[in-house]
Amino acid sequence: MQHFPIFLNTSGRRVVVAGGGAAAVAKLRLLLKTEARLTVIAPEADAEIAGWAAEGRLRLVARAFEPGDALCATLVYGAAEDAAEDARVARIARAEGASVNIVDNLAGSDFITPAIVDRDPVTVAIGTEGAAPVLARSIKAGLEERLSPVLGTLARVGKAFRGAADALPMGRKRRDFWAAYYDEVGPRVHGEGGAAALTPALKELLARHLHASEAPGHVALVGAGPGDPELLTLKARKALDAADVVIHDRLIAPEILELARREATLIAAGKQGFGPATAQEDINAMMIAHARDGAQVVRLKSGDPGVFGRLDEETEALDAAGVAWSVIPGITAAAAASAEIGCSMTRRGRNGALRLITGHDMDGFAEQDWRALAAPGAVAGIYMGKRAARFLQGRLMMHGAAPDTPVTIVENASRPDRREIAARLAGLPDAVAGLDGPAVLLLGLAPRAASRIQLEEAAQ
Ligand code: SAH
């Protein structure tokens, strides 16, 4: 960043424009919006400049720029549209302590004037260091369209009301008040009754917020999907946008955590593979404590919160503590994995049932209905199955599963480092060896998009 954007206080400051032609007029149109004391120095000036001078909006000095003209000036614009004259002005002005801008001469300028979106007192400045003026213009056009034309009025009235709003405690309550004003009450009231109706509406809104009982805390148990941020639901995004506290599993991708409100506190909890775990009671206690403080808590879990996510244990604890909660579902790993290999998880004539099973539970490798799982055509998404691969293989074959039953292993589904391995039951333990990311085993499914995968057919 060669040019550092700042907002300069122009109130009562002297700003000099040397030049009286079209370039000077263009700069003056912007400068006239400020509170600066403007002087234009030019042997000849455009009629528009003369008009502004006649209205008393600037002082016009009808001669060439001379030493002494930049004394006490904060900014000097070289707008003579003549390289030698502009350079002379710049030399004098710098020697007298002013910052100089030469119109259309980036290299010769101390500062540049950005493209401006003006909703005074809200001002957006766009600069590209001279690299892409076209881009600056299109960004400006986009913002002009997006920002309501009454935003400036809302902000001006809001600014005058800040002192009164300080009656609300700092933090969430004050933030909620201003959000209600800018997002909803302000635009509506301005539309109905114009600017004059805004201050009375603010008073009424403040009274309501002062007397509202403490906003109760809430816990949303949110499914973050398998990893790709684009597989988040819109509801999950909204919950992250509004969160004060996000308690997330370690499996959650950083790109997803980026979407949380900037001020939100992020807390990593839960466990990763067989690594260190935060005790479930500690997670419960954390959710409850933050919600009792009035926070909007998001408990963010990978995939769907209700699939091997200990959801019930958490909602039961919240119920016992009297904390309000809701669940936002997510895309579970098996759904993402089967999409990745282009397969349907159910199929007419093949399987009318789908099982989601875990490879291990609290007591070790998990027992299942092996007879049903070993039947021809059976399909299951096996979570946490890598360590249990040999056990799964043994149990299934013992109950009559064919050794060439397809099993596709999808590691890191939906993430950039995803990997798919097409195996057969007979070679399952070898196929999972060496995987270190989260993986789901799709029993009974072979990839359809064979070209995309790395086939590791096991010996039969
Ligand atoms: N609630 C999650 C599952 C949590 S259990 C869900 O609905 O997906 C953790 C297991 O989920 C991992 O051991 C792995 O089997 C699976 N898993 C989670 N994310 C995955 C991903 N991106 N790719 C493959 N498997 C994943």
Task: Give yes or no for a contact between 316 and 322, defined as CB atoms under 8 angstroms apart.
Answer: no
- Name the residue with the closest Cα to ligand 1, atom 5: 308
Q: Where does the pLDDT of residue 276 fall: very low under 50, low under 70, confident under 90, or very high at 90 and above? A: low
For residue 302, report the distance from its CA to the centre of ligand 1, in Å: 7
- Whether 249 sits among the annotated catalytic residues: the reply is yes
Give the nearest ligand 1 atom to 334 CA.
8
Task: Name the residue at shortest CA distance from atom 2 of ligand 1.
Answer: 303
What's the confidence (pLDDT) of residue 171? 78
Say if ligand 1 is within 6 A of residue 383 CB. yes
Band of pLDDT at residue 272, cut at 50, 70 and 90: low
456: nearest Cα among 419, 428, 421: 421
| Closest ligand 1 atom, residue 415 Cα | 22
Over residues 67-76, the mean pLDDT reads 97
- Taking the C-alpha atoms of residue 423 and residue 135, their distance in angstroms, rounded to an integer, is 51
126-169 pLDDT per residue, tens:
999 888 888 999 999 999 988 888 999 999 999 999 999 999 98
Contact 422, 447 (CB under 8 A): yes
% residues pLDDT > 70 (the chain): 95
Distance 376 CA to ligand 1 centre (A): 25
Q: Are 341 and 407 in contact (CB under 8 A)?
A: no
Return the best residue to mutate from 222, 231, 251, 328 for the ligand 1 pocket (most ligand atoms within 8 A of CB).
251
- For ligand 1, whether the C-beta of 227 sits within 6 Å is yes
Read off the pLDDT of residues 225-253 as tens digits, 9 standing for 90 and up.
999 999 999 999 999 988 989 999 988 98
Beta bridge partners of 384: none
How does strand 406-411 pair with strand 419-424?
antiparallel
End-to-end CA distance of the chain: 62
Token representation of residue 190: 């301005």
What value does the mean pLDDT take over residues 430-452?
87
Bond from prior residue into 121 cis (ω within 30 degrees of 0): yes
- The SS3 of residue 310 is coil
Q: Mean pLDDT check: name the lowest of 143-157, 347-361, 425-439.
A: 143-157
What 3-state class would DSSP assign to 404?
Answer: coil
Reported as type and span, the H/E element at residue 143 is helix 133-146
Structure tokens at 31: 């400068």
For a substitution probing ligand 1, which of 233, 301, 383 has the most ligand atoms within 8 Å of its CB?
383
pLDDT digits (tens, 9 = 90+) for 295-353: 899 999 999 999 999 999 999 999 999 999 999 999 999 999 999 999 999 999 999 99
DSSP letters for 241-263: HH-SEEEEETTS-HHHHTTS-TT
Decide: helix, strand or coil at residue 300. strand
Nearest CA to ligand 1 atom 25: 439
Ligand 1 centroid, distance to 352 Cα (angstroms) = 23
pLDDT score of 457 more than 80: no
CA atoms 167, 173, 175, 178: torsion sign: negative
Residue 454: pLDDT above 60? no
357 touches ligand 1 (CB under 6 Å): no
CA of 75 to the centre of ligand 1 (A): 60
